[in-house]
C-alpha cells in the first residue's frame, strides 16, 4: 500500500471542512468559549457526582452526555454545538431562577445569573462569526 492512497483519502474526507479561513490564519476559540466549554464539563461532573451522592434525581443523567458533547463541540467551534450549549445554558438558567423564586434557594440565583451572563455571551456576533 502506498502513502498516497492514505493522504488522498484524508483529503477527500476533509474536503468540505476547513479549519483555516481563506487568509491562512488559524482561528482559535475565544477565551469565553473555552470557559463555557470547561463549564459544561464541570456541570456534567457535578450532575454525575450529584446523582451518585443521591442529591439529584437519576433522570438528570440524561443531560451528562449532552453537556459533554456540547463542551467538546464548542471547543472545536462547531455551530451545532453552539446551539446545543445555548439551549442548555438557557434551560439551566430558567431552572435555577425557578429554584430561587419558588424554593428560595440562593444558590439558584447565583448559578442562574451566571448562566444568564453565559447566554448573553454566546449570542454575541463575534462568537457566532467564529463558528463553522
**Choice between 48 and 27, residue whose per-residue pLDDT is larger:** 48
What pLDDT shows up at residue 115? Answer: 93
3-state SS, one letter per residue, for the chain: CCHHHHHHHHHHHCCCCCCCCCCCCCCCCCHHHHHHHHHHHHHHHHHHHHHHHCCCCHHHHHHHHHHHHHHHHHHCCCHHHHHHHHHHHHHHHHHHHHHHHHHCCHHHHHHHHHHHHHHHHHCCHHHHHCCC
What pLDDT shows up at residue 22? Answer: 57
59-79 core/surface letters (b: 16 or more CB in 10 A; e: else): eeeebbeebbbbbebbbebbe
Confidence of residue 7 (pLDDT cuts 50, 70, 90): low
What pLDDT shows up at residue 44? Answer: 95
Q: What CA–CA distance (Å, rounded) separates 81 from 73? A: 5
Q: For the residues 109-122, what does the mean pLDDT come to? A: 93
What pLDDT shows up at residue 9? Answer: 52
- For the stretch 79-94, pLDDT in tens is 999 999 999 999 999 9
- For the stretch 58-68, pLDDT in tens is 998 999 999 99
Which set of grid coordinates corresponds to residue 28? 482559535
Amino acid at each position: 500500500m502506498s502513502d498516497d492512497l492514505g493522504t488522498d483519502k484524508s483529503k477527500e474526507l476533509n474536503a468540505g471542512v476547513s479549519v483555516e479561513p481563506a487568509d491562512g490564519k488559524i482561528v482559535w476559540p475565544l477565551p469565553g468559549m473555552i470557559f463555557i466549554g470547561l463549564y459544561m464539563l464541570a456541570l456534567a461532573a457535578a450532575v454525575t457526582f450529584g446523582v451518585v451522592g443521591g442529591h439529584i434525581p437519576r433522570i438528570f443523567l440524561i443531560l451528562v452526555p449532552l453537556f459533554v458533547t456540547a463542551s467538546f463541540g464548542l471547543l472545536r467551534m462547531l455551530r451545532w454545538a453552539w446551539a446545543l450549549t445555548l439551549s442548555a445554558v438557557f434551560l439551566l438558567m430558567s431552572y435555577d431562577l425557578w429554584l430561587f423564586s419558588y424554593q428560595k434557594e440562593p444558590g439558584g440565583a447565583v448559578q442562574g445569573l451566571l448562566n444568564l451572563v453565559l447566554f448573553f455571551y454566546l449570542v454575541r456576533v463575534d462568537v457566532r462569526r467564529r463558528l463553522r
